[in-house]
Amino acid sequence: MSPLETILRELILEDGPISLDRYMALALAHPVHGYYRTRDPLGPQGDFVTAPEISQMFGEMIGLWAVEVWRLMGAPAPVRLVELGPGRGTLMADALRAAHLAPDFLAALEVDLVEISAPLRERQRAALEKSGVRINWRNSVDETPPGPAIFVANEFFDALPVRHYVFRDGGWRERRVGLDVEGRLCFGLGEIEKAIEARGEEGDILEVGVAAARTMTRIGVRIAAQGGALLAIDYGYEQPARGETLQAVKGHRFVDPLESPGEADLTAHVDFSALARAAKGAGAAAHGPLEQGEFLTRLGLVERAAALAAANEAQRALVEAALERLAGAGGRTDMGRLFKAIAVTRRGAPPPPGFGTARDEA
Ligand code: SAH
């Protein structure tokens, strides 16, 4: 049994079943035993691989995106670049290197990394040592000092806790984590929640990204009041849907979400319509979502790949494979279609690069 499972069993024995979002929050972020607190989960030896780890081109495109957004904001100085869940710091290192094309942007810049993982903070420090930019670490978005800020989040929102409601015996009931007769963790259902108005049929499941919406609301309020923008890229869906997407991954394999809490990565697909709603509800404007492949292509990914390959023929095959994986849709691991990008700006601000056509307007 994982150390966290022992703690959870005691907690449930004492207080009764806990909601799924509380379970997820503890499994991922318990101060001592949480999954993200204790390890670097990325890469072939870890549990999953992300876009910035596939190719330097991903972070470069986002760095250039940030420079352009800053110009559209009227080039305020100082400006903060805030990354949520920066992993190994690869995206930020590549973004800052690309931003050398804009020395005025770099001169105005303060970087904030919102990260709860001590091992990953160490990796970020090492990756960014030579960037020449001042880096601050924060535990949450609320800790970032006020002022205009550009937020970047890749595979961050999918790591935030979700709540489930199951339609059973005439109403929506919250899914909870309790104990079975042998004292093992198991799912159960609470009382009917009369406040939920959505229609349902027996067995339907509603997945609600409670923490993602909360975080997006805070950022939206801040962008509306103080200026700035957000770019979030994640695995997710565009229209509200029924069904659950919670999954647990350990060593590149799916496992039961209740098995070894604290040792498996728990994620849920991002509901982009809910993120856009939260941003708009906070007084900001939402753009997109659009597919990652389309977004990166509009930013110049194909041209960047050609330049990189021409500069180093020995790397051509690798660069082309990375291009396919980031922007393509044919292969099982291709991210071009499955991943989506959404942006948030102030109301009335020009659409950020990549989002500029009318059909993307949310
Ligand atoms: N963006 C990186 C890493 C994605 S993994 C990449 O694309 O490679 C998710 C990241 O979010 C990790 O850095 C993890 O430690 C961080 N994280 C997870 N939950 C968090 C939370 N509640 N607050 C801040 N960071 C969190």
The CATH number given to whatever domain includes residue 90 is 3.40.50.12710
Check residue 360 and give its pLDDT: 46
Pick from 256, 231, 234: which is nearest to 246 by CA? Answer: 256
Ligand 1 mutation target, pool 36, 57, 137, most atoms within 8 A of CB: 36
Higher-pLDDT residue of 38, 350: 350
259 is a domain residue: yes
Question: E strand or H helix at 59, and its extent?
Answer: helix 56-72
Distance (Å) of CA 192 to CA 168, 175, 232: 8, 11, 34
322 is a domain residue: yes
Radius of gyration of the chain (CA): 21
357 is a domain residue: no
Kindly give the distance from the C-alpha atom of residue 31 to the centroid of ligand 1, in angstroms, as a whole number: 15
- Stretch 300-306: mean pLDDT: 97
128 is a domain residue: yes
Atom of ligand 1 minimally distant from the CA of 53: 8
Kindly give the distance from the C-alpha atom of residue 100 to the centroid of ligand 1, in angstroms, as a whole number: 26
Atom of ligand 1 minimally distant from the CA of 158: 9
In this predicted structure, the answer to whether residue 18 has a pLDDT above a threshold of 80 is yes
- Stretch 117-145: mean pLDDT: 95
Kindly give the distance from the C-alpha atom of residue 309 to the centroid of ligand 1, in angstroms, as a whole number: 31
Which residues contact ligand 1 via a Cβ below 6 A?
A: 28-29, 36, 42, 50, 52-53, 85-87, 91, 114-117, 120, 154-156, 159
Kindly give the distance from the C-alpha atom of residue 43 to the centroid of ligand 1, in angstroms, as a whole number: 14
Check residue 288 and give its pLDDT: 95
- The answer to whether 175 and 141 are in contact (CB under 8 A) is no
Provide the strand spans (E) within the chain: 18-19, 79-84, 109-114, 135-138, 149-154, 163-168, 171-179, 185-192, 205-208, 228-237, 247-250, 253-255, 265-267, 270-271, 284-291, 339-346
248 is a domain residue: yes
355 is a domain residue: no
Atom of ligand 1 minimally distant from the CA of 88: 8
Residue with CA nearest ligand 1 atom 3: 87
Atom of ligand 1 minimally distant from the CA of 114: 24
Kindly give the distance from the C-alpha atom of residue 204 to the centroid of ligand 1, in angstroms, as a whole number: 30
Domain count of the chain? 1
Task: Label the pairing between strands 228-237 and 247-250.
Answer: unpaired
Helix (H, G, I), strand (E, B) or coil at 132: coil
174 is a domain residue: no
312 is a domain residue: yes
- The answer to whether 332 and 277 are in contact (CB under 8 A) is no
Higher-pLDDT residue of 294, 1: 294
Range of the domain at 120: 3-161+211-346
Check residue 362 and give its pLDDT: 46
Whole-structure pTM over 0.75, yes or no?
A: yes
For the chain, helix, strand, coil in percent to 5 are 40, 25, 35
Atom of ligand 1 minimally distant from the CA of 48: 5
Kindly give the distance from the C-alpha atom of residue 172 to the centroid of ligand 1, in angstroms, as a whole number: 31
Neighbours of 267 (CB within 10 A): 23
- Stretch 343-348: mean pLDDT: 97
Kindly give the distance from the C-alpha atom of residue 173 to the centroid of ligand 1, in angstroms, as a whole number: 30
